Chains A and B, each alone.
Chain A
Amino acid sequence: MNFGLRNPVAKTIFYAILVVWGLAVLYPLAWTALDALKDNAQFMGNAPWSLPNLPLLWSNFSYVWDRYNFDSYFVNSLVITAGSTVLGLLLSASTAYVLARYPFRGSGALYLFYIASMMVPFVLALIPLFFLMNSLHLINTTLGMILVYASSVLAFGVFVLVGFFKSLPKELEESAVIDGASYYGTFFRIMLPLSQPGLVTVAIINVLNIWNEYVVGTVLINDPRHYTLPVEIGVMQAEMQYRTEWGPLFAALLITIVPVLVVYILFQRKIASGITAGAVK
């Protein structure tokens, strides 16, 4: 039983603060959506919070989609995010399963190795990574991006999934072994379906992180045909100094934001449980 705040004045003030912060969070999004429908004259002449003039300038969207090639950036982002999420999940789930269920000499050390690696700043690896990918001829390739991103989410996946596999009951596995199922059969036919909630949680967090990633993208891609959405947003923003196309820029931002917002709205609870599991180190 929670009695909450008793003082009505304090209650009103606190509630007002919550509402103000809510607006501070939502307003930039609403602003992006509105500005995506304006032309340059409206940007210069009207206040930033003014509503777009009618007729709405939907052509900003088709403009960035066709002329700025957002169609291909969108597909690049989609393929890279999907590929690296699946690969990362496969590699982390297999290791996590063994670490959780089949302790062997050195398994504790291996677990610590993955956990400790999360402390190492990724920028440190940036320069050698560039030259490694260069010598493997994986610069400007979808495959290269998938490999690097999959590797960058591995440790987090191992960490969360070890905890998850440990929480699953052992009985099902034991009866499967008695029934003569092989190690692999047990994993693929019994454990993987059972651990779906944990896998989905890790996958969603990885999807968000990879979709939004910028630094590795800028370093490993310099051919515009292979840009991902964040990389192109960075480029567009830099070009804005001599090429003022504000409406299209906001349309581009919206195209980048909407997919993650949809994922967030659909999987809110999963995301909350994922970050809570990942942070209790």
Chain B
Amino acid sequence: MKTSGTAKWQRSMFIASFTLPTLIFFCTFTIYPVIKALYYSFFDWSGMSDHMDFIGLQNFKDMLHDPIVWQALGNDYFLVAGKIVGIMLLATFFAVALTRFGFKLSGFFRSIYFIPNVISVVVIGVLWNFIYNPQIGFLNAFLSLFTKEPVTITWLGFTSHTIWMLLPPSIWAGIGFYMILLVAAIQNVPDSLYEAADLEGANQWHQFCHITLPLVWEQMKVSIINIMMTTLNGSFVIVWIMTEGGPDNTTQVMGSYLYQMAFRQYHFGFGAAIGMLIMISSLITTVVMQRLLHRETVEMS
């Protein structure tokens, strides 16, 4: 009786010693700040002093009346939509082409397509800044090959629609990751299905529509939702490096506006409120997308 008590005690001690340090660590450096952000969002606070004014929902009310917040929200969803369309079309095409079309060098293409995903977003932003650079950039120099006068378009300085310019780098940087996921999903489809289709004379397009698409739909759904989440949470970096939200706040996204309000203009409470907005919109969009993308799942037998 006593031994089993000790054994139980030993087991509990072992479990505690292996889970508690991690949990405490994680709660300190990740969970606590998240909860604290919720708390800060109810205060007017410059961050400079200990003085914090509790103002209830005023930050959220101010947010609704701030045109830049709406602009940022619109830009975020523009990037979400553009990236979902661009990345999913290209990544799906590449994944199918590199698994089903029997091309030589498929493995090589797969390897190099992933390269942008291992490079820091900061580096990608700087590189694309040089592609767009009005004086020494690649794009203007390339266009000048076809014109009499040298082209000097300031690609990142349009009074509106500059946000469109941020779409190509975001898509360029994102494709490899989702291609790898879709390649893995396609490789999980039993070969016998494709063999049967080949015997019946179904062409690649039919095979894609009737075998690949239904069977990898789950993975595509995950990918689409993942693009949405990473864009709402992380499009900030590319924006910050390439335009700092300018010109005139027209390329501001929620993340960059949060950063600017908090760390440049010292409205920490307002910044925290924007953080809440990011989380809430990301949660709502996830739920909505789960509904929209729901399709009868096909069980692989």
Interface residues of A (CB under 8 A from B): 1-6, 11, 14-15, 17-18, 21-22, 24-26, 28-29, 31-32, 35, 43-44, 47-49, 91-92, 94-95, 97-99, 102, 104, 110, 114, 117, 119-132, 147-148, 150-152, 154-155, 158, 182-184, 187, 208, 211-215, 219, 229-230, 233-234, 237, 246, 249, 253, 256-257, 260-261, 263-264, 268, 271-272, 275-276, 279-281
Give which listed residue, B12, B101, B194, contacts A11 with CB less than 8 A: B101
CB distance from A106 to the nearest CB of B (A): 9
Hey, which chain A residues are within 8 Å of B237, CB to CB? 214-215
Contact call A48/B141, Cβ cutoff below 8 A: yes
Asked if B14 contacts A102 (CB within 8 A), the reply is yes
Interface residues of B in 200-221 (CB under 8 A from A): 203-204, 219
Q: List 17 A-B contacts (CB under 8 A).
A: A6-B203, A25-B112, A44-B135, A95-B23, A121-B275, A126-B259, A127-B271, A128-B40, A132-B36, A158-B22, A183-B14, A187-B18, A208-B118, A213-B120, A233-B126, A260-B118, A268-B114
Alpha-carbon gap, A257 to B119, bound state (A): 6
Known: A32-B127, A35-B130, A264-B114. 19 other contacts (CB 8 A): A4-B100, A11-B101, A22-B109, A25-B115, A26-B115, A104-B12, A119-B229, A120-B34, A120-B279, A123-B236, A127-B275, A152-B30, A154-B26, A154-B30, A237-B126, A257-B119, A257-B123, A260-B119, A271-B118
The reply to whether B122 and A230 form a contact with Cβ atoms under 8 Å apart is yes
Task: Determine, out of B58-66, B152-160, B176-184, the stretch whose residues face the partner at the interface.
Answer: B176-184
Q: A29-B115, A183-B10 are in contact. Are A123 and B23 (CB under 8 A)?
A: no
B115's partner among A14, A184, A264, A275 (CB-CB below 8 A) is: A264
Contact A28-B127, Cβ < 8 Å, known A275-B181, A276-B184: yes
Chain A residues whose CB sits within 8 angstroms of the CB of B136 once the complex forms: 43-44, 48, 246
The reply to whether B22 and A92 contact each other, CB–CB distance below 8 Å, is yes
How many residues from B make CB contacts under 8 Å with A?
95
The docked-state distance in angstroms from the alpha carbon of A24 to that of B175 is: 12
A104 touches B15 (CB 8 A): yes
In the complex, A122→B241 CA distance in Å? 18
Tell me the interface secondary structure of chain A in the complex: helix
A94 x B22 contact (CB < 8 A)? yes
CB nearest to A205 among chain B residues? B118
User: Which of B93, B102, B116, B120 has most A Cβ within 10 Å?
Assistant: B120
Q: Which residue numbers of B lie inside 8 Å of A, CB to CB? A: 10-12, 14-15, 18-19, 21-23, 25-26, 28-34, 36-37, 40, 47, 90, 93-94, 97-98, 100-103, 109, 111-116, 118-123, 125-127, 129-131, 135-138, 141, 172, 176-177, 180-181, 184, 191, 194-195, 198, 203-204, 219, 222-223, 226, 229, 232-234, 236-237, 240-241, 255, 258-259, 262-263, 268, 271-272, 275-276, 278-279, 282-283, 286
Tell me which residues across on chain B come within 8 A of A256, comparing CB atoms: 120, 123
CA distance A183 to B222 in the complex (A): 37
Chain A to chain B: the 7 pairs with minimum beta-carbon distance, closest first: A4-B102, A212-B120, A151-B29, A128-B36, A125-B33, A121-B233, A128-B33
Q: Is the CB of A124 within 8 A of B19?
A: no
Contact across chains for A4 and B177 when beta carbons are under 8 A apart: no
Beta-carbon nearest neighbor of A23 in chain B? B112
> Cβ of A91 and Cβ of B121 under 8 Å apart?
no
B276 to chain A, nearest CB (A): 7
| Across-interface contacts of B283 in A (CB, < 8 A) | 119
Report how far A159 CA is from B239 CA in the complex, Å: 30
Name the residue on B nearest A253 (C-beta): B123
Q: Are A97 and B120 in contact (CB under 8 A)?
A: no
Residue of B nearest to A27 (CB): B138
Assembled-state Cα–Cα distance A73/B289 (Å) = 42
CB distance from A193 to the nearest CB of B (A): 17
Q: How far is the CA of A267 from the CA of B111 in the complex (A)?
A: 11
Q: Name the contact of A233 in the complex, choosing from B122, B195, B204 (C-beta under 8 A).
A: B122
Contact A4 B275 (CB under 8 A): no
Closest beta carbon of chain A to B283's beta carbon, Å: 8
Given known A-B contacts A44-B135, A129-B33, A91 and B127 have beta carbons under 8 A apart: no
Chain B residues lying within 8 Å of A11, measured Cβ to Cβ, are 101
Instruction: State the CA gap A14–B94 with chains docked (Å).
Output: 9
Closest to B104 in A: A15
> Distance (Å) between the CB of B208 and the closest chain A CB?
11
Q: Quick one: given A4-B100, A121-B233, A237-B241, are A110 and B23 in contact (CB under 8 Å)?
A: yes
* A5 CB contact (under 8 Å) in B111, B194, B204, B233: B204
Chain B residues near A261 (CB, 8 Å)?
115, 118
Which residues of A sit under 8 angstroms from B18, Cβ to Cβ? Answer: 94-95, 97-98, 187
B274 to chain A, nearest CB (A): 9
Q: How far is the CB of B45 from chain A (nearest CB, A)?
A: 10
